[in-house]
Structure 1
Amino acid sequence: MIKPINLTLMHSQKLKEQVLEFIKYHDVKPITKESYRRILLRYVEYVEHLTEPPIRDDVKQYRDTLIKDHSANTVQKYIVVVRLFYAWLYAEGKGDNIAINIKGPRIENTFKRESLSEKQARQLLEYAKKESSKGIIEYRNFTMIALMISTGFRTIEIERADVSDIHFIGDSHVLYVMGKGRDEKDSYNKLSPLVYKLIETYLMMRSDEHKPLFINHGSTYKEIRLKTRSISKIVKKYLLGINIDSKKFTAHSLRHTAATLAMEKGADLYSAQHMLRHKNTNTTKIYLHKINRRKEKYEEIIGDDLLKGLT
């Protein structure tokens, strides 16, 4: 007896082959190729239950499904890649462009994470300092948090940092980093003398060859480069240690804190942009808007004036 053809499996397999061909075709960085692969294979998983090849409405439904569980930024990224894929299919004569003009959700021009106040930043460092006496892991954490909150480095930049990236320029120690979307460690931030001293002490406590700046000291992954996920968990743990328990405060909040404090202490827009390695000043301007918004007290003034003598 002849087995019936599994059309669902056929469509899914063909789509997977086209995804791999699409990735191979594009001349982009390996990290971008991996991102394309992950996003598109997830899309294939969504449509592989269909008995017919996906149509435009299926792409829209996929977008709406993503919106339920993901941030607007993530959904936008996924839909952009799906659009690129179908545009390529059409250009190569391999299929219809069923995703043309399908839009992702609206992205608000603001940050999802909050910055710490100067008082909170000080509390965090005091807590990390207190914990640092327990051992090398806690001293590493103190050093790392002090570095992040004073320079605004991203978690990925902390992960990629090597000891050999520290140099002495002019009268300052600096740390070169590979920024977001970069191929080389071509920009640096200055290290305060106190932060540099922490790094020096941490390195002296170690017994490895000192390649990665921050490493894992646990028994399972000993001396392996500390990854972004671990960095984020460490910062979150220390935030909880000072009773800050909110989704709005994460490891990325330390970057926002560095930027906000720099501008509050007199850094102009372009200095802050350089410190954060933003390509566009509009991104840096968001910090300025948030600082100004914190200073505004119009609602309080109006409320007090209107309710005077009534409460």
Structure 2
Amino acid sequence: MNDTARLMNDLDVVVSTLSPEIDINKLVVRLEEVLSNYEIHRKSQKDIENDIQEKIDIFLSARKVEGLSNLTLDGYKLELGLFAKYMNKAVVQITTSDIRKFLAHNENWMISTVDRKLSVLKSFFAWLVREEMLLRDPTAKIKAPKKPKRLPKGLSVEELEIVRESCENLRERALMEVMYSTGCRLSEIQNLKTSDINIQEMNARVIGKGDKERVVYLSFKALHHLRSYLKSRDDECEFLFVTERRPIRKMSDRNIERIVDQIEARANISKKLSPHTFRHTFATLAMENGADLADVQQLLGHEDPATTLIYSHVSEERKKQAHKKYHVQ
């Protein structure tokens, strides 16, 4: 069978699948008329196998133009690169079973890891279908794995004080207080500039997920320690938290995580300390003190109220524990 005949046969199968009532004989005649004007060469198996990386590159370029952050794009690039290496076949040949096998092939992957990989693959294949590079989405029938409901572990008031006392310099204390007071994500803290701070209003403007801006607030304590830290600096860097070594520049996310790790080692508390722990603590204590769910949602920058709702569960759990502890039988 020559390449033209192969193409006609493939088109015949596709069209008859999409439109079962079509007149096949008329279709064949029309296809012959159209294809006679073209010189057709079928791709080699090697060319077909290499197309997955080509599609990934186009996808990443398109999402970059759409405004996705470099952090998100790097995550997509890493996950899709691993998938391409495992799959090593044409995108059009990838089936739902192939994807399920990929997600199940590593027994050491946690449910959260599988969920993240599936989320990236769903985004990729859905985009290919929207762009009409693919007729069907092989991930459409795959459901996200059920994740165990783990309550976020914020610090108690007592633990928070221990952490405060474990800070050894002005930068550590200012960083810790701003993370707790604002409930910001790590990337939001990292990208804060001194010009984003409004001392009179005791607030700051941050750019969150989806490039959305919101206002967060600084407590008197956070503002006091932040001002002390800023006065101690002798540089012209525009960012709020900067490196101590020259050239002075914005702290990386790993720099911030390392500082939090050092504070955790000194505090010696039972809970794991991370930048996100302060965000959990802010939300948990706010709900404990009667904050409205909608207000906490806005302060945290959650798009979906259901994401914030987990903190109300924390509050109920603590009430339950308190009842068990103090209720007279």
Structure 1 length-normalised TM: 0.78
Post-superposition Cα deviations, 1:93-132, rounded to whole Å, max 9, x if no partner, equal: 5576433312231234554x4101000001100111xx12
How far apart are residue 22 of structure 1 and its match? 2.6
1:59 aligns to 2:99 (yes or no): yes
AA matched with 1:261: L
1:28 aligns to 2:66 (yes or no): yes
AA matched with 2:118: I
Distance 1:161 1:55, change over 3 A: same
Which residue in the other structure is 2:78 paired with?
A: 38
Which residue in the other structure is 2:171 paired with?
A: 140
Which residue in the other structure is 2:143 paired with?
A: 103
Asked if the contact 1:166/1:173 (under 8 Å) is kept, the reply is yes
Distance 1:87 1:270, change over 3 A: closer
How far apart are residue 244 of structure 1 and its match? 2.8
1:178 aligns to 2:215 (yes or no): no
How far apart are residue 252 of structure 1 and its match? 0.7
Which residue in the other structure is 1:285 paired with?
A: 309
Asked if the contact 1:115/1:249 (under 8 Å) is kept, the reply is no
Higher deviation after alignment, 148-157 or 27-36: 27-36
SS of alignment partner, residue 189 of structure 1: strand
Asked if the contact 1:140/1:202 (under 8 Å) is kept, the reply is yes
Which residue in the other structure is 1:15 paired with?
A: 52
CA separation in 2, counterparts of 1:188 and 1:90?
A: 38
Higher deviation after alignment, 204-213 or 102-111: 102-111
Distance 1:205 1:68, change over 3 A: same
Asked if the contact 1:270/1:281 (under 8 Å) is kept, the reply is yes
CA separation in 2, counterparts of 1:244 and 1:298?
A: 21
Which residue in the other structure is 1:135 paired with?
A: none
Distance 1:197 1:21, change over 3 A: same
Structure (1 or 2) with the larger CA radius of gyration = 2
Q: Unaligned stretches of 5+ in structure 2? A: 1-43
Q: 2:265 aligns with which of 232, 237, 240?
A: 240
Higher deviation after alignment, 23-32 or 87-96: 87-96
AA matched with 1:294: R
Post-superposition Cα deviations, 1:19-67, rounded to whole Å, max 9, x if no partner, equal: 11233345522425444333222211222399x9544322111112467
Which residue in the other structure is 1:209 paired with?
A: 236
Distance 1:88 1:30, change over 3 A: closer
CA separation in 2, counterparts of 1:267 and 1:299?
A: 21
Asked if the contact 1:11/1:48 (under 8 Å) is kept, the reply is no
SS of alignment partner, residue 205 of structure 2: strand
CA separation in 1, counterparts of 2:107 and 2:188?
A: 29
CA separation in 2, counterparts of 1:162 and 1:229?
A: 18
Higher deviation after alignment, 75-84 or 114-123: 75-84
AA matched with 1:236: D
1:119 aligns to 2:158 (yes or no): yes
CA separation in 1, counterparts of 2:261 and 2:322?
A: 33
Higher deviation after alignment, 252-261 or 86-95: 86-95
Distance 1:285 1:48, change over 3 A: same
CA RMSD of aligned residues (A): 3.1
Which residue in the other structure is 1:79 paired with?
A: 118
CA separation in 2, counterparts of 1:143 and 1:298?
A: 33
CA separation in 1, counterparts of 2:307 and 2:250?
A: 30
Q: 1:47 aligns with which of 87, 94, 97?
A: 87
Count of aligned positions? 281
How far apart are residue 160 of structure 1 and its match? 0.7
